[in-house]
Amino acid sequence: MPTISVPQSLLRSLVEANGKSHDIERVLEDLPLLGTDIDQCTEDVLDIEIFPDRPDLLSGETLAFAMLPFLHQTPALPDLPCESSGISMHVDPSLADLRPVVSCAVVRSVNVPTNEVEADEFIKGLMDHQEKLHFALGRGRQKVSIGVHDLERLQPPFRVMSVPGTTAFVPLTCTDPMTINDILTHHPKGVEYAHLLEGMDAYPLIVDANDDVLSFPPIINGEHTTVTHQTRDFFIDVTGWDERACEASMMLICLQLAQRGGKVQTVELTTCTGEKRTVPNGEAQRHLIPEELVKSLLGRAFTDDELHRAINRMGGRFEGREPAPQSAPTRSTKMADASAGTDHLVFAMPRWRFDLLHPVDLVEEIAIGHGYEDLGVDHPKAPFTAKARPDHHLRRRLRDAMQGLGMMQIQSLTLSNEADQFTTMRWEPNHAVTRITNPITVDHTILRQHLLPGLFRLLASNRHHDLPQSVYELGTVVRDHQNEDRLAFLTAERSGGFAAVRGRIQALCTDLGIADWHVEPLGDGDGPWLAGRGAKLVVQGQWVGCFGEIDPHVSAAFDLRVPLNGGELDITALKELVVDPV
């Protein structure tokens, strides 16, 4: 989740400009309900972790804009006031195959601080907001890329066209012209984002009436449009492949500058398909929500005043009720049509609220704005009588036994990788491995077959804590594409040896009431065990697991430099061998 550092002075100035006082205690108490988590609070800075579903809170200015109605009950402003700039932009039809979604806006008379330190802080915050939107909405500039320029250095009207790789201009942070081909192979930003234009023989370029380059999206801006301390009028361009994400990104940059006193102005845009548009569209988006849907999900009906207060806190406007259509499909595929015959609640929400994708999202907004603590009381309408799992008593006895040995239970991820599961642990994959078709990271490519690697990773993350450390996990592994239950434990202690881990196995067997058990030696290199210090646990003639001292070479692979011992047992096998006293 992205984290933003907001100067307390900025929040205070924006809140006090609306006649409210900046109450930091209330911010810390109530702001998490808005979709944030407070990481750190000092006299100067508030570090806030923003949940992924609220990209509209990724700058201090837009956060303060959302805080005012939520914390101080000021009237919400879901509309973004705009006036005409008289500027136009024409997008060449060739952009249809290069980067078809193009939009722009003008913001004039922004109150940039005159103090050099504060001006630097403002520019840094603007650029930081831009990059966070590239990450949150743009998926690394693939869906959205944003350019912010000094309008005074430009000559409208603007054009977006395709050019060959030999076209040259002076990119940001440079003094000499570079061709597009050189930028993609030598400039740091070009190298970082060249994959977005891979395979293209023409590239998008935004120029003004003098053919000066504003931007080479999605890579880099031109040097001469750089925002400085003297910039007061801004031109914003947004290009990409996702129209909704592009609109939200542009409006959030406009909103940030508008919070600094800027006046947002529209641009007459001719798209690559020849369509004429006026952008941005500052009017709020209307949403129709069946009243019955709100009742069924939240358990109660709401008066108009309650709906007004709830949605106002969330930055929207309640516009009343409309009769639902009299006829509706017998089997609707839309939840918005599923309650035909009831009233529709009409809400106006900001267009930059990218997270509002479904009627249920509006129901959640009502719940948050109203308060979860006052939604009434309900009771289950269906019986929820259940019975214990067949292995319930065994699992309970195992937990009691391990906790009696002073161990802490943990739960690690079922996803793992071959290096942790097999190579580092010196285990052979004797069962079919269940692989992830499209893994997100190299650390999560398969479903685990052993629990011990997860315990190693946990101790490695906690090696700064004092010894001894003893942990265990009672969890599921996947072998031959079938779930199996296993128990693993691992202890880091200065004096631990084979006798210590054998004593734990003996205590476990005693607690489980197992009398017929013995140990057999393991071969060298058969698992993570130190040579001559690893053994099999055999119960009633059946091998149910292994235990022993951990080879320091295996420990070192996980950055652990302390003596370790542990074991892993097959609970599926134990269940057939251990008598259930209950």
Round to whole Å and give the CA distance between 24 and 443: 40
Round to whole Å and give the CA distance between 192 and 462: 34
Instruction: Enter the tokens of residue 24.
Output: 């930091």
- Which residue type sits at 410? I
DSSP string covering 487-536, please?
Answer: EEEEEE-TT--HHHHHHHHHHHHHHTT--SEEEEEPPTTSSSEEEEEEEE
Identify which of 492, 489, 488 has the alpha carbon closest to the alpha carbon of residue 468. Answer: 492
- The pLDDT of residue 327: 53
- The pLDDT of residue 330: 44
Between strands 178-179 and 220-221, the pairing is unpaired
Residue range(s) in the chain whose domain bears CATH number 3.30.56.10: 3-72, 285-323+340-372
DSSP string covering 99-161, please?
Answer: --EEEEEEEES----SSHHHHHHHHHHHHHHHHHHHHHTTTTTTSEEEEEEEGGG--S-EEEE
Partners of 59 in beta bridges = none
**Tens digit of each residue's pLDDT (9 = 90 or more) over 205-260:** 999 999 999 999 999 999 999 999 999 999 999 999 999 999 999 999 999 999 99
CB of 98 closer than 8 Å to CB of 92: no
Cα dihedral sign for 488, 494, 496, 497? positive
- The pLDDT of residue 538: 92
- CATH architecture of the domain covering 83-279: 3-Layer(bba) Sandwich (3.50)
CB of 14 closer than 8 Å to CB of 62: no
- CATH architecture of the domain covering 392-577: 2-Layer Sandwich (3.30)
Cis amide prior to 468 (ω within 30 degrees): yes
Round to whole Å and give the CA distance between 430 and 526: 12
Look up residue 339 and give its DSSP letter.
T
Domain range 285-323+340-372, its CATH number among 1.10.3720.10, 3.40.50.300, 3.30.365.10, 3.30.56.10: 3.30.56.10
How many CA atoms lie less than 13 Å away from 530 in the CB half-sphere? 16
Round to whole Å and give the CA distance between 238 and 158: 13
Residue range(s) in the chain whose domain bears CATH number 3.30.930.10: 392-577
Place of tokens 């739960």: 411
Instruction: Enter the tokens of residue 93.
Output: 């039809």
Look up residue 340 and give its DSSP letter.
B
What angle separates helix 291-298 from helix 359-370, to the nearest 10 degrees? 60
Q: How many other C-beta atoms are found inside a 10 Å radius of the C-beta of residue 267?
A: 25
- Which residue type sits at 386? A
Look up residue 293 and give its DSSP letter.
H
- Which residue type sits at 422? F
- The pLDDT of residue 331: 44
Q: How many residues does the chain have?
A: 582
- The pLDDT of residue 332: 46
Which residue stretches of the chain have pLDDT < 50?
328-332, 336
Neighbour-count burial of 419, counting CB atoms closer than 10 A to its CB (0-12 exposed, 13-18 middle, 19+ buried): middle
- The pLDDT of residue 467: 86
Instruction: Please give the C-alpha separations between residue 85 and each of 89, 154, 156, 497, in angstroms, as whole numbers.
Output: 12, 14, 11, 78
DSSP string covering 146-210, please?
Answer: EEEEEGGG--S-EEEEEE-TT-EE-BTT-SS-EEHHHHHHHSHHHHHHGGGGTT-SSEEEEE-TT
- The pLDDT of residue 89: 97
- The pLDDT of residue 365: 95
- Which residue type sits at 489? F
Round to whole Å and give the CA distance between 210 and 195: 30
- The pLDDT of residue 80: 96
CATH 3.30.56.10 applies to domain 3-72? yes
Residue range(s) in the chain whose domain bears CATH number 3.50.40.10: 83-279
Identify which of 562, 578, 573, 430 has the alpha carbon closest to the alpha carbon of residue 508. Answer: 578
**Tens digit of each residue's pLDDT (9 = 90 or more) over 284-317:** 999 999 998 898 889 888 999 999 999 999 999 9
